[in-house]
Structure 1
Amino acid sequence: MGEARRESVVLVVTKVDDVTADLVVEELNSRGVCVVRLDPGDFPASVAVTARLGGDELDGNLCTATRRADLARIRSVYWRRPSPYAAPDGLSAQDAHWCVDQARYGLGGILGALPSAHYVNHPWRNRDAEYKPPQLATAARCGLAVPPTLLTNDTEQARQFAQDYGPVVYKPLRNTDFHGDGSRALTVWVEEVEPLSIDAGVAQTIHLFQQRVNKVADVRMTAVGERLFAVRIDGAPGLDWRRDYEALSYTLIETPPDVAKGVRAYLDAFGLVFAAFDFGLDVDGRYWFYECNPNGQWAWFPHEIRDQITAAIADQLQHPGIPV
Structure 2
Amino acid sequence: MTPAISVILPVRDGGDWLREAVDSVRAQSFGDFELLLIDDGSTDDAIARLPPDARLRVLANPGRGLVAALNHGMAQAQGAFLARMDADDRCRPQRFERQLALLAARPEVAICGVQVELLQPDGGPPPPGGLAYRQWLNALCEPADIARELFIEAPLPHPGWLIRRTAWTRVGPYRDGPWPEDYDWLLRAHLAGLTMAKPADGVLLDWREHPQRLTRRDPRCARANLIAVKAPALAVVLGGREVLLWGATKTGGRLHDALTAQGVRIRAFVDLDPRKRAGRKRDLPVLAPEAASAHADAAILVTVSQGAKKPAIRTQLAALGRREGIDWWFAT
Same fold (TM over 0.5): no
Higher-RCO chain (CA-CA 8 Å, sequence separation at least 6): 1
More strand by share: 1
More helix by share: 2
Please, what TM-score do these two structures have when normalized by structure 2?
0.26
